[in-house]
Amino acid sequence: MRPSEKPKTLFQTASRKQKEQTVRKTLIFTAAILAASAPLYAQSCREADAAVAAEYRKMQENGNYGGGEWSEARERRLAAAGKRFYAKLSAYLARPESWGCVFPRLLGAGAGIAAAADGRVRAFSWDEQTGGTMHNDKNLLQYRSGGRTALLAEGVSGGWVRQIAADTLPRYGKVYFAVSRFVGSSRLYLDRVELLHIEKGRLKPLNIIRTARLGNTLSYEADLMAEPRLPEGRENNYIAYDAKTRTLSLPLVVAEKESDGDGRVTAGRIRYCFDGLYFVRQK
């Protein structure tokens, strides 16, 4: 299609028979979705928690970490359980009353929940059970604005959301700092922070971090085998936000010699301070 051409709608070009078939398929599809999610609307927190936890355990039983030999039947069961898990979880989280549910059974099954202190944003994370030493973690963000509950279905890009900090910044209002970790192997991991805010009722990226260009993320990759063995409480392998100074910081990682592996976390920190408009790296 040329840029100057206007896209044609289905009903502008379809015959009467095609229209009827399209409408019939749409009605059937809609009915199927409603049938799948309808029981959840009558469920309590306890029932919904039990339902999604059961599906997650089925994913684990048929996944790559569940033991036993691979088979096509097992792979199909994993895929089916994964679809049911996501459908049931997202359907229940779309309900405003779901905010009162802390999902103890789902957490007990190994999933994770990270919530902002203001109670307006929380992230659900889980392992799709399809990886090896590299884990395929997914997440789903739930948020509310103006009495409306909504989902950010694609979540954030980092993998497993570990925490969500929140602060009110001039010009931007409430800003959320979602910190996540992607496990690349038994040695490698990547930590990332993504800045989000609610604008016109929607949770969106907030591109106010100045690096080579404006963006909403900072990250570092490191090698666990090269990390220094520091006493508990003195570890430096984390991303932090200091609300008092409005500073984002992450560890300085080097890979200058063979013993550094694919990235050694040092005792140094890289800091980005908010200057009233952007987060700018400090020299």
Give the Cβ contact number of residue 145 at 10 Å.
Answer: 16
Percent of the chain with pLDDT over 90: 73
End residue of a domain, out of 105, 121, 145: 105
Tally of domains within the chain: 2
Q: What is residue 9's predicted lDDT score, i.e. its pLDDT?
A: 28
Q: What is the mean pLDDT of the segment spanning 107-113? A: 99
Identify whether 8 is part of a domain: no
Whether residue 148 sits in one domain with residue 61 = no
d(CA 106, CA 138): 15
Decide: helix, strand or coil at residue 212.
Answer: coil
Whether residue 179 sits in one domain with residue 53 = no
Helix (DSSP H) and strand (DSSP E) numbers for the chain: 5, 15
pLDDT range class, residue 27, cuts 50, 70, 90? very low
d(CA 208, CA 173): 13
Nearest to 93 by CA among 28, 155, 35, 167: 155
- Per-residue model confidence as pLDDT tens digits over 266-278: 999 999 999 999 9
Q: Are 256 and 271 in contact (CB under 8 A)?
A: no
Q: What is the mean pLDDT of the segment spanning 205-224? A: 97
- Per-residue model confidence as pLDDT tens digits over 150-185: 999 888 987 999 999 999 999 999 999 999 999 999
Q: What is residue 241's predicted lDDT score, i.e. its pLDDT?
A: 98
- Per-residue model confidence as pLDDT tens digits over 45-68: 999 999 999 999 999 999 999 988
Whether residue 183 sits in one domain with residue 72 = no
Whether residue 133 sits in one domain with residue 35 = no
Indicate whether 19 pLDDT > 60: no
Its pTM stands at 0.83
Identify whether 3 is part of a domain: no
Q: Find where tokens 């990759």 sit.
A: 221
Whether residue 141 sits in one domain with residue 82 = no
Whether residue 271 sits in one domain with residue 153 = yes
Residue-range definition of the domain harbouring residue 152? 111-282
